[in-house]
Amino acid sequence: MIIMKTQFIRECHYSPENRHNLICFPHAGGGTGRYHRWGSEVGKYANVYAPVIAGREERFPERAMNSVESVIDDIYARIRPASAEKLYVCGVSYGALLAYELANRFEKQGIVVDGVFIASQRAPYVCKEIIDWENISDKALVDALTSLSDRSNAEFSDDEYFSIFADTIRRDLCASDNFQPAQPRILNAPIYISYGNLDPVIPRNYIDSWATMSHAPINVTEHNAGHFLMDEDRDVWLSDVVKVVRANYL
């Protein structure tokens, strides 16, 4: 079992009485902000942790890593063993692949993972077109990012703002596309998949591709939402996570 109280593991919600832990990963270019807002609901049932990945927040001076394996090598080395009754991992978009790979590492070490929450992502074995994100034009990158959002990405029209974060976004997207292991390990943990039927880049067949990725049950929840599973400022994915964690807590 594990708990994270080491450098660059953000403690979004913690209670010493809570024996359940949830580790959360962001989308490409994202940070830990989404998960700080989860504390009021998930925090009733689990401690919420969000690793700070290279290339953002206090690790901004470090260049983002361009492979899923490298990111998880880094994060796994920062996790301190301790006791816990339940362990969950979750991630949205790029973060979903990080969540899968972290669960894979845990299980290889004999650590039981009680649930993997996947949002808006294909299974690792699915071959997809690999885009040269590091070399496409800024305009093409902005257009791709804007197509994923239900809201205007006005910040990307600010050249200075965009120049600050573009390299991290590009390298995260490269890591996501390039994570296509020939024989990805089938997990023992149950997988809970959430997706939006308005998502322009993750079709239903990508969601269905997870069906063979666990020896445990696979649960799929569809939302009338886009890629990031947000309805204005309401996090629709959060309800799926809370439902499972609460049921296992009671």
Q: pLDDT tens across 37-80, in order?
A: 998 899 999 999 999 999 999 999 999 999 999 999 999 998 86
Comparing 156 with 145, the larger pLDDT belongs to: 145
Q: How far is CA 225 from its chain centroid?
A: 17
d(CA 14, CA 20): 10
Q: 85 falls in which pLDDT band (50, 70, 90)?
A: confident
The answer to whether 38 and 64 have CB atoms below 8 angstroms apart is no
CA distances from 115 to 59, 139, 177 (A): 28, 38, 24
3-state DSSP assignment of residue 91: strand
DSSP state of 214: B
Tell whether the model's pLDDT for residue 194 goes beyond 70.
yes
The domain that holds 111 is classified in CATH as 3.40.50.1820
- The proportion of the chain whose per-residue pLDDT surpasses 90, expressed as a percent, equals 70
Query: Alpha-carbon dihedral of residues 147, 152, 154, 156, nearest 10 degrees?
Result: -20
For residue 159, the enclosing domain spans 2-249
d(CA 119, CA 207): 9
Give every CB contact of residue 141 below 8 A, 6+ residues apart in sequence.
133, 166, 169, 170
Number of domains the chain is built from: 1
Q: Is the pTM of this model over 0.85?
A: yes
Tell whether the model's pLDDT for residue 17 goes beyond 70.
yes
Which pLDDT value is given to residue 91? 98
Alpha helices in the chain (DSSP H): 33-36, 39-42, 68-76, 94-108, 138-148, 159-178, 204-208, 236-249
Give the pLDDT mean for 163-174: 93
Which pLDDT value is given to residue 249? 86
Tens digit of each residue's pLDDT (9 = 90 or more) over 93-113: 999 999 999 999 999 999 999
The answer to whether 194 and 207 have CB atoms below 8 angstroms apart is no
3-state DSSP assignment of residue 85: coil
Give the largest CA-CA distance in the chain.
51
Which pLDDT value is given to residue 66? 93
Give the pLDDT mean for 88-93: 97
Highest mean pLDDT: which of 87-96, 131-140, 176-185? Answer: 87-96
